[in-house]
Structures are given as structure tokens and as C-alpha cells.
Structure 1
Amino acid sequence: MVQFLTFIYLGYMFVAMYFLSLFLLLYFKNKEHLFEIPQITKKYSVSVLVPAYNEEDTIANTIKSIFDSKYPLKEVIILNDGSKDNTGKIANSLKKRYPNLKVINKPNSGKADSLNQGIKIAKGELIAVVDADSYPAKDAFKNLIGFFDDKQVGVATPFIVPRNRAIFFERLQVVEYNVIAFTRKLLGYVDAIYVTPGPLAIYRKSALQKIGGFDTKNMTEDIEATWHLTKEGYKRKMCLLSSATTTVPVKISVWYRQRRRWNIGGLQCISKYKKYFLRKGMLGVFILPFFVLQLFLGLLGLSIFFYLLISRSISRYLFTKYSVQVGTPILTLEDFYITPSFLNYLGVVLFILGALFTVMVLWIMKDSVLKKQNTFNILFYLLFYLTVYPFIMIASLYHYFKGTWKWR
């Protein structure tokens, strides 16, 4: 068993070193272009779709931030998805201020179906999707438009920035969002962007029509649409100098449900596109294997953790019981001695490299929250925040196979 675990540890270390090396290689090869903005050589008409369900607290500010855009917008369509609060009333009250604001009141049918209805009536060449609790920066649209001069580009996405960052839990998510954005940008250099987040993404309308719009059965319609566009040969682009802020969960329970929904949506995508595994372009040779590998390593690591915990607990119980019976010491100095080994040293080195990589990302991204981060925050993020994810995956798998899941 010891040899088996050694091979497992070495496998984990190989994967960690591989992806760390990949990201560093992509960064140093492309660092001069990391913050480039694509030049606009053609004017595109843009329709903005805002699906909204019970968003009375945020809808007005979202609409204002959209109309503050430096890029002219053809229309902004609020898709009021059967809200039970004053979302529709507030949106309608702003139509006098913004003449090209349209409000569609419809029965509740979910975000994906609302977007599909919006696509049918949208008049723009490009369709921007903005969540009703998100706020695009003034140059967010302008800094993405230039990507569409390449007719193979199907979607472009910005840097999603957490809006609330006052408390400790929110700042952990700021670190997470920075790392995600940085690595996603790097993956764009090998055409491996696997998601265009809901807070803001701009799609080529003809591309959305080609894939039949958004999948109404998927919990994460943005991930599924990105995979579908990838399958059809469309490129996905990202600009770090285009940004939109979004409200991240304050309560752990809300954060947990959000992450569980993301996981279930990812599982749905794996199931839907599994036939392309190792076959269909970057979807089959990188994105699918990347997701499956994450799932496998997370579950394997959790299994090993519980195996070691249970086996050592049983051993300690039996040893203690025997020691009490025969009158020998329960604890000796040897119990506090950790035998150094190559695996111990390599594990420490990998952890240090991971910490340095996280600090490097925060520094490169120039996020002001870096000034509020301290060593404890980053260590907590690496040691505890990330280690919770395999447990969430277990819960996600349970709900996925049982079928007891819903969007909210």
C-alpha cells in the first residue's frame, strides 16, 4: 500500500508541476501582450440582454452601468423572468431616461430560455449578455469589440471582478477570481478558454444561432455554450482590460450552492460532450480531459484522505487500547518525530511554488485588494479554501446522480 500511495503522490506532483510549468511558459512567452486591447476597425451593432429574476436591489444600477458604456449600443433588453418583486416596475420606470431600453415581461422559464427569447428579437450583430447583478465598466464593451474582426471568434469575455471585498471571506474570493482570470487569459493563447462567465460576455449572434442558443437543461448555460462554440470551431477570446464587477456570495451557504451549481453544470457538460473526448479539437484534447482530470484527482485525493484518516484512527485506537492493558506509555517522543523524505520535501516545494504563483498573479493583475492581503489570507486560501472543493464535488455528484438539483 505504501508503494501505491507513493506512486499516487508522484502522480499528483507531476500534474501540479505540468500545469504550473504550462502557465509559467505561456506567461513568459506572452507577457508583452497580456494586457493588449484589440483594435476596433469596424463598427458592430450590439444588443445587450439582461435576464432578471427578483433583482429589484440591483437592476437600476446594472442598467445605468450598461448605458454608461463608451461604445454605442443598439438596444438593451431586460428579460424580466417572472419576477415576484419590483424588478419589472423599476426597469420600466427607466425607459424614459433611456429610449433604447426595452423591457420584456414573461412567465418564469429560467435564464437560458429567457436569453433564447431575447436572441430571437435582438437586432444587433453582436449580443452581449449581462447578469442583472453585474456592472460592466465604461470601456468593457469597447475593449472586446475588436476581437470580432476575426470571423472565427464566436465570443469574447472580460475580467470579472468581485464588487464586494470588505470581509475576509469576500477577499478570499477576490484572490480566486484573480487567479481564474489570469489562467483563463493564458489558456486563450492556446485556444483553450472553457467558459465565458455570466456577468458579461459578448457573442456573435450568428454563432449563437448556429448552436441553437443556450441549453435550457444545463445548470451552467455559459459553460455549455462555450463548449458548443468550441466544438463548432469558434474561437473564444478574453481581454484583461475589459472588466465587469459582480456581487460575490457573502454567506458560506450561498457560496456553497453557487459552487455546487457550477459543478453540476460541469458534470452535465462532460456527459453531453463525452463522445468528443480526445477527438474533437481543443474541446476533446484539452478542455474535456482537463475537467475529467480535475474531477478524478479531486475524488482520488479525498478517498486517500479518508482512507488514511480511518486507518490511522483505527491503528491509534488499537495501540492505545493495548497500551492501557499492558501498562506501556501511550505517547513517546517518536510519535512527535516526522521522518523527512523526498516526498515531504517535494510537497513543501510545490506548496511554496503554488504560494509564489498566487502572489505573482495578484501582483501582475494589479488588483488593489493586494494591499489588503497578508500572508495569512493567501495561506488560508491555499490550505483551506481550495481544499473544500473536493467535498463540494462529492455533494454535487450526489445531487447530480440523484437528480435533486435546481438552478436556485
Structure 2
Amino acid sequence: MYQSIEIIYHIIITISLIALLLNTFRNHFKFKVLSTSPLPSYLKPLISILVPARNEESCIKECIESLCQIEYPHIEIIVLDDNSTDATGQILHDLQSIYPHKLTIIKGTVLPNNWVGKPYACFQLAKKAKGDYLLFTDADTKHHPLSLDATIQHAIEQSYDVLSIIPKQSVVHFWEQVTVPFIHLLYMSYMPNDLLYKTKHSIFTAANGQALLFKTSFYHAIGGHQAVFNSIAEDIDLGIITKQHNGKLGMISAGNLISCRMYKNRKEVFEGFSKNSFATLRFDTGMLLVFISHLFFTYILPFFLLPYYISTSHVFFISVITFQIGCILLLRLSIARFFGNPWYHMFLQPLTAASFIVLSINSAIWFMRKKGTTWKGRSYTMLQKSV
């Protein structure tokens, strides 16, 4: 009986890993990468670059300077200081004096009840924007001078209503290297990239709020950020709403032109992913259990079973488990190469999986205890599924 269960387990895990590998290899060909060939001048619409900023003193200067150096003739750059309690406001004031004709700074109003900070900041920014396209980008991103030209070219050529742009994730400290590349695994291994725009089913939805481009007319037609006013995972919710309104949603890698450092220390990693994880799972306990079980049985248990099988000299199971571990390492290696991460990240996958088990459980505990989540000095206790 035990051996039958063991065989069934290995069949399921082996098939799962092969499927993940095949989808990853498929996405290597389907996942588009931004090119830098310029658009003809007559095809360059006005673009509003919109940056919500709260307590971003460590990165805001580099971000805004990179945006102000973008080589694109028709842009407006609007930054919202979302009632920062650090030096962000002063840094923005200094930058505006350097780039008076490119940069507009606005002061955010008090956060209304039931709103989450980022959606409200983006809502205010959109009201000030005049562009044909709206590019919402985080304050911890850095942009190549040709990045906007390449982004708009791709959006126009593919007729996207919404384009999710994946920057290169800059990781420095150990826990950044363990956790942040997990995002790439989700995009490359679990999501067939072309199904983002080929099907309207919400299960095939992914979006990254670090850089998110909208046709302005479509943005307002779906209700903009007001439609996701109480969402912690507003980027994913906007992607779902896009599909509900029959919009065309796309995703592209821009690692050669845009970079982002999401979190800068272990505390930010813990709080940031704890803030998002349960929301990404739609606050669904069943999905949480499936998610953490999948991570454990697929990416962690094989590494513990290998020494056990070696000790029992069971050649068949040694071969099976070695194949599974090889698939796991190859999976992470191929993703690391695609997104420009170090090759040795492939050895971190068991720890990555263990980390997200802990982070997801902690995220659920925060929600279930009504503690909510804390981010950038604000506490949110009204978390709920927005769409």
C-alpha cells in the first residue's frame, strides 16, 4: 500500500515537472523581449509617465533622473508625493528645479477610508494625465533612454489595451536572491504567455504593477484604479478586469531596458511578500493549501528523499528522484538565463519554495487575525477580493 502511494506521488511530481519545463521552454519562444528599434515620428503619441511615491528617499532620485533622460518627444512625467514622511518630498522638489519643463510634482490628498494607498495614488495621477497612453511605474524602477520608444512600439504593433512590462529584478542581498526570482518562475513556468491575450478566461491573467501601460481610453472605460480601490494586488485585479471588458492584455520582458529593486533588506522582503501573497491567492484558503502543498511536494521533498533512497539502495527510486531534481535545477537555470540572473540561483529553489510557504501562511494569518497588512507606514485591515 505504501509503495503504491509512493509510486503515485512520483508519477504526479514527475509529470508536473515535465509540464512546467515544457511550458518554460515554450515561453522562451513566446515571451517577447523589448527591442530598441525606434518608431517613426508620426506614430509617437503623447505618453503620461505616472509615478506614485511614498517614502522612497533611497531610490526616487535615480528613478526620476532616468525618466527625465528618456529619448521620446511627447511625454509628460507626473510624480505624486503620497504624503511621504521621509525626504522624498524634498528630493522631488530639488529634481523639479533641475527638470522644470519635464517634471510635474503633485501632492497626494489624504487617503480615503477603504482605499489602499497605491490605487489611490494612481487614481489621482490619472486625473492629471493628458496622454494617449498612461505608463504607471514604481519609484524603485530605472529606465533606459530608449525604453519608452520600445514599449510604445510594441503596444501599438500588437494593439494592446494593457501591456504589463517585466523589468530586470535587481537582487543584492541573500534573501532578495532567494525570494524575488520566484516571480519569474510564476511568469515563465506556470503561465503560457500567449494565452494572456488569446483567451478571456481570468485564470490566464498575470500583470506586474512595476510598469503597467494602458491606452488612456481603455483605462477610463474599465474604471481605472477606482475599480480596484481596495485591492492589495491591484495589478492582477486590473488584468482580470481587462479581460472582463474584452481588452487585449499583454506581457513583455524589458530586462535590457528597465530594472527594479523591489526590496532592499530582509524586513522589506518579509513584509512585502506577506502583504501580497494571500491577496494574490484571492484570499482563498483552499488555494493557499493547494499552493503550499505544491511547493512542498514538488520543490522540497525530492531533495530530502534522495539521501533516503541512497541509504536504502533503491536504484529505481534513486533514478526517479534524480530526474526530478534535474528538472527542478534545469527549470530554474533556464529562467535565470532568460531574465539575466546568476546561474547559481538554480540551487536556491528548495529554499525559495520554503520561503514562500512561510510567507503565504504568514500573509493568511495577518488577514485571518484581522491584523491586515502594513506597508510604507500604513496599515490595511479591510483586505478583500476586489474582482
- TM-score, shorter chain, exceeding 0.5: yes
Which one is further off, 11-20 or 219-228?
11-20
Find the counterpart in structure 2 of residue 360 from structure 1. 334
1:298 to 292, 299, 307: 292
Once residues 93 and 73 of structure 2 are traced to their aligned partners in structure 1, the CA distance between those partners, rounded to angstroms, is 21
Once residues 122 and 195 of structure 2 are traced to their aligned partners in structure 1, the CA distance between those partners, rounded to angstroms, is 29
Which one is further off, 356-365 or 104-113?
356-365
Find the counterpart in structure 2 of residue 83 from structure 1. 84
Find the counterpart in structure 2 of residue 256 from structure 1. 270
Find the counterpart in structure 2 of residue 313 from structure 1. none
Alignment CA distance shift 1:220-1:30 (3 Å) = closer
Shift of 1:393: 1.8
1:106 to 99, 105, 108: 108
SS at the partner of 1:203?
strand
Find the counterpart in structure 2 of residue 285 from structure 1. none
5 Å matches for 1:210-221?
210-214=221-225, 215-221=228-234
Once residues 183 and 158 of structure 2 are traced to their aligned partners in structure 1, the CA distance between those partners, rounded to angstroms, is 29
TM-score by length of 2: 0.78
Verify the 8 A CA contact 2:179 2:355 in the aligned structure 1.
no
5 Å matches for 1:292-371?
292=287, 296-299=290-293, 337-340=311-314, 342-365=316-339, 367=340, 369-370=341-342
Find the counterpart in structure 2 of residue 224 from structure 1. 237
Once residues 119 and 155 of structure 2 are traced to their aligned partners in structure 1, the CA distance between those partners, rounded to angstroms, is 23
Once residues 407 and 230 of structure 1 are traced to their aligned partners in structure 2, the CA distance between those partners, rounded to angstroms, is 30
1:209 to 211, 220, 234: 220
Alignment CA distance shift 1:236-1:270 (3 Å) = farther
2:252 to 234, 239, 249: 239
Find the counterpart in structure 1 of residue 385 from structure 2. none
Shift of 1:4: 4.3
1:382 to 343, 349, 352: 349
- Unpaired runs of 5+ in structure 2? 112-116, 198-203, 300-307, 376-387
Once residues 206 and 343 of structure 1 are traced to their aligned partners in structure 2, the CA distance between those partners, rounded to angstroms, is 57
**What is the letter of the counterpart of residue 351 of structure 1?**
I
SS at the partner of 2:93?
helix
Once residues 102 and 35 of structure 1 are traced to their aligned partners in structure 2, the CA distance between those partners, rounded to angstroms, is 27
Once residues 189 and 34 of structure 2 are traced to their aligned partners in structure 1, the CA distance between those partners, rounded to angstroms, is 13
Once residues 356 and 311 of structure 2 are traced to their aligned partners in structure 1, the CA distance between those partners, rounded to angstroms, is 31
Find the counterpart in structure 2 of residue 158 from structure 1. 165
TM-score by length of 1: 0.74
Residue by residue over 1:239-298, the C-alpha shift from the partner in whole angstroms, topping out at 9 and shown as x without a partner, is 334632222434323212211222122133779xxxxxxxxxxxxxxxxxxx94x85142
5 Å matches for 1:115-154?
115-149=122-156, 152-154=159-161
- Unpaired runs of 5+ in structure 1? 272-290, 306-333
Instruction: Give the superposed CA RMSD.
Output: 3.5
- Tell me, yes or no, if structure 1 residue 403 matches structure 2 residue 370: yes
Larger radius of gyration: 1
5 Å matches for 1:25-64?
25-27=26-28, 30=30, 40=39, 42-64=43-65
SS at the partner of 1:396?
helix
- Tell me, yes or no, if structure 1 residue 267 matches structure 2 residue 281: yes
**What is the letter of the counterpart of residue 323 of structure 2?**
V
Once residues 46 and 91 of structure 1 are traced to their aligned partners in structure 2, the CA distance between those partners, rounded to angstroms, is 20
Once residues 238 and 263 of structure 2 are traced to their aligned partners in structure 1, the CA distance between those partners, rounded to angstroms, is 24
**What is the letter of the counterpart of residue 40 of structure 1?**
L
**What is the letter of the counterpart of residue 206 of structure 2?**
V
Once residues 71 and 231 of structure 2 are traced to their aligned partners in structure 1, the CA distance between those partners, rounded to angstroms, is 33
Once residues 204 and 38 of structure 1 are traced to their aligned partners in structure 2, the CA distance between those partners, rounded to angstroms, is 21
- Tell me, yes or no, if structure 1 residue 198 matches structure 2 residue 203: no
Once residues 267 and 175 of structure 1 are traced to their aligned partners in structure 2, the CA distance between those partners, rounded to angstroms, is 18
SS at the partner of 2:258?
strand
Shift of 1:145: 0.4
Shift of 1:348: 2.1
Shift of 1:339: 4.8
Once residues 136 and 283 of structure 2 are traced to their aligned partners in structure 1, the CA distance between those partners, rounded to angstroms, is 20
Once residues 64 and 187 of structure 2 are traced to their aligned partners in structure 1, the CA distance between those partners, rounded to angstroms, is 25
Aligned length: 351
SS at the partner of 1:17?
helix
Residue by residue over 1:362-400, the C-alpha shift from the partner in whole angstroms, topping out at 9 and shown as x without a partner, is 3344x3x53xx54xx532x12222232122222222223
- Tell me, yes or no, if structure 1 residue 392 matches structure 2 residue 352: no
SS at the partner of 1:195?
coil
Verify the 8 A CA contact 1:224 1:269 in the aligned structure 2.
no
Greater RCO, CA 8 A, separation 6+: 2
Alignment CA distance shift 1:343-1:390 (3 Å) = farther
Alignment CA distance shift 1:95-1:297 (3 Å) = closer
